[in-house]
Amino acid sequence: MSDLLSATDALARHLGLASDAPLLRTALTHSSYAAEHGVTSNERLEFLGDAVVDLVVTDAIIRDYPSLDQGTGSLARSKVVNEATLAEAAERLGVAHAVLLGRGEQKSQGAFRPSQLADTFEALVAAVYLDRGYDAARDFVLGELGDALRDAAATPDEVDPKSRLRQWAEARGLGAPTYRVDGEGPSHATLFAAQVFVNGVLAGTGNGRSKKAAEVAAALAAWEGRNDA
């Protein structure tokens, strides 16, 4: 418990919130813990935080990167506002050591799952927004994601494999690729296998330690094996 309190205190200081602020506790409350203890989960805050992060990054692109048009700006934003980047930011903040999880999630090391880290990051952004206002939330988001945004803005055309495959398929009237993902193994060490279909035809397969990683691997395989490669 002392480690949890220490991690929460450190996070609170970084966010500019009181360590006992109700919004902070809610932001750190996973739905599994909420169900076991009859309290409010962070899901509504996550919903709000998702919108705030998107607005902050989009606003920064418009204000600070005039060379990016709608297309390249959208690509740059997608390289910043995604599960992997938000999870990395949450990991740097020590979120995994402060989040409140139910017993099952604790046993499966759910605190370190990228999807959980990304969701909690968004909930924390919402807590800052509601407690301290938009400017504070903007400063926090850009403080944590600013480097990723600068990198994305410098190379907006270096699109991730999933986006690149989708653009290629849609340009040829084949529609957006679809993915099928299956997982094997214990929840704390699941290996995911993905298949990607283009126009209903299997185009590539890939494996990864998360659903996103497996889908990216499958998309890369499909891209490299496309007909006009």
Token reading at 107: 């046993």
Active-site residue (options: 50, 119, 131, 144)? 50
Q: Is the dihedral of CA 90, 42, 3, 116 positive or negative?
A: negative
Pair 119, 44: CB distance under 8 Å: no
Place of tokens 């409140």: 100
Put the strands of the sheet holding 191-198 in their side by side order.
178-184, 191-198, 201-208
Phi/psi at 185 (nearest 5 deg)?
100, 175
Instruction: Give the integer Cα–Cα distance in Å for 140 and 129.
Output: 10
- Active-site annotation holds for 170: no
Helix/strand/coil for 179: strand
- Active-site annotation holds for 182: no
Instruction: Give the integer Cα–Cα distance in Å for 149 and 190.
Output: 30
Pick from 187, 172, 157, 146: nearest CA to 63 = 146
Pick from 141, 47, 42, 129: nearest CA to 85 = 141
Taking residue 63's Cβ as centre, other Cβ atoms within 10 Å add up to: 8
Active-site residue (options: 122, 131, 144, 215)? 122
Place of tokens 């060379």: 67
Active site residues: 50, 122
